[in-house]
Amino acid sequence: MKRRLDPDRKIKVHVADKEKVEFKLKDILVPPKEKISLKKDYDPGFTGGFEDKAGALEHVAANAQRLSEYQDRLYAQDTYSLLIIFQAMDAAGKDGAIRHVMSGVNPQGCHVTSFKTPSTEELDHDYLWRAAKALPARGMIGIFNRSYYEETLVVRVHPEFLAKQRMPVVDDDIWKRRFKEINNFERYLTDNGTVVLKFFLHLSKKEQKKRFLSRIDEPKKNWKFSPADYLERAHWDEYQHAFEDMLNHTSTEDAPWFVIPADNKWFARLAISEAICTVLDNLDLKYPEVDKARKEELLKIRAELERE
């Protein structure tokens, strides 16, 4: 399996029969073993010079069809599985991205898991336990709406959550230990055929405010707004530091992070769909070939069916 992506690979968008090269993978990839700055290196409003929203959404729809075809081969080959992880601040658009990008996927071959506050049972196990239970089987696509990375994000911002886990040792190195444990876990997954794709939806504080206000002002969106989301906004800088540290320590050759500019939902969906299709294309998925004996058996059955 060709796991490693070419960071200079160009993302090509076709609009009105014209090919337009908008950006490269390296524009949204976090280079492994390199230190990045979220504030300096990634712009939440980046659109790769592409301003055609309608054209972008047409391309997202086309990618949904491509993804459907890739999924069919993924399932038939039954060798690999795909794990897609989404992490972001509240209102960054994770749910919408999942809904639009995966619209062409057969629900029988895809499962979405949303990780919320751990239950009592989950707290009685190691922090990776509940994620391991939800991993996709071979031939399947699994989507984690938030994930085990919450253990290096919300738990880091709120140390009181860590106390509930009754860890035998809690010291200043716990986050580095968790980064190492997660890297080892993802290396184990990739070695055993699970392709790990990780997306951080990078939203600006200004745009989050705009979306919060929209959820309050529009009655049909009221249900989306939680006062808890507003309270977490007070920890914005702490979360940005936690996200940056996470990206710097867990973007690897086999499981790199993509920083998706999320201020424009249409571009975020375009970038995510392109990244997923690019990775699946890189696997060179094929339908299984049957041997000579099997082909002869199929021809005999065909002949019998035609004689009916």
CA distance 187 to 204: 31
User: Is the pLDDT reported for residue 3 higher than 60?
Assistant: no
Looking at residue 2, its pLDDT comes to 46
Task: Read off the amino acid at residue 179.
Answer: F
Report the chain's mean pLDDT, rounded to a whole number: 90
Average pLDDT over residues 228-248: 96
Assess contact for 199 and 272: CB atoms under 8 A. Answer: yes
Quote the percentage of the chain above a pLDDT of 90. Answer: 71
Which range, of 73-77, 167-171, 185-189, 217-221, averages the lowest pLDDT?
Answer: 167-171
Average pLDDT over residues 6-11: 67
User: Is the pLDDT reported for residue 1 higher than 50?
Assistant: no
- Cβ within 8 Å of residue 64, ≥6 positions away: 100, 101, 102, 103, 104, 105, 273
User: Is the pLDDT reported for residue 50 higher than 80?
Assistant: no
User: Is the pLDDT reported for residue 12 higher than 90?
Assistant: no
Average pLDDT over residues 206-225: 94
Task: Read off the amino acid at residue 210.
Answer: K
Assess contact for 189 and 80: CB atoms under 8 A. Answer: no
Map out the domains of the chain with their CATH numbers: 23-307 (3.40.50.300)
Which long-range contacts (C-beta less than 8 Å, at least 24 apart) are formed by 159-164?
Answer: 164/123
SS3 245: helix
Give the residue from 45, 38, 67 showing the smallest Cα distance to 251.
Answer: 38
Using a 10 angstrom Cβ sphere, with 0-12 exposed, 13-18 middle and 19 or more buried, the burial of residue 220 is exposed
User: Is the pLDDT reported for residue 305 higher than 70?
Assistant: yes
The predicted-structure confidence for 112-161, as pLDDT tens digits, reads as follows 999 999 999 999 999 999 999 999 999 999 999 999 999 999 999 999 99
The predicted-structure confidence for 78-115, as pLDDT tens digits, reads as follows 999 999 999 999 999 999 999 999 998 999 999 999 99
The predicted-structure confidence for 243-282, as pLDDT tens digits, reads as follows 999 999 999 998 999 999 999 999 999 999 989 998 999 8
Give the residue from 202, 151, 226, 222 showing the smallest Cα distance to 181.
Answer: 151
Looking at residue 149, its pLDDT comes to 98
User: Is the pLDDT reported for residue 284 higher than 90?
Assistant: no
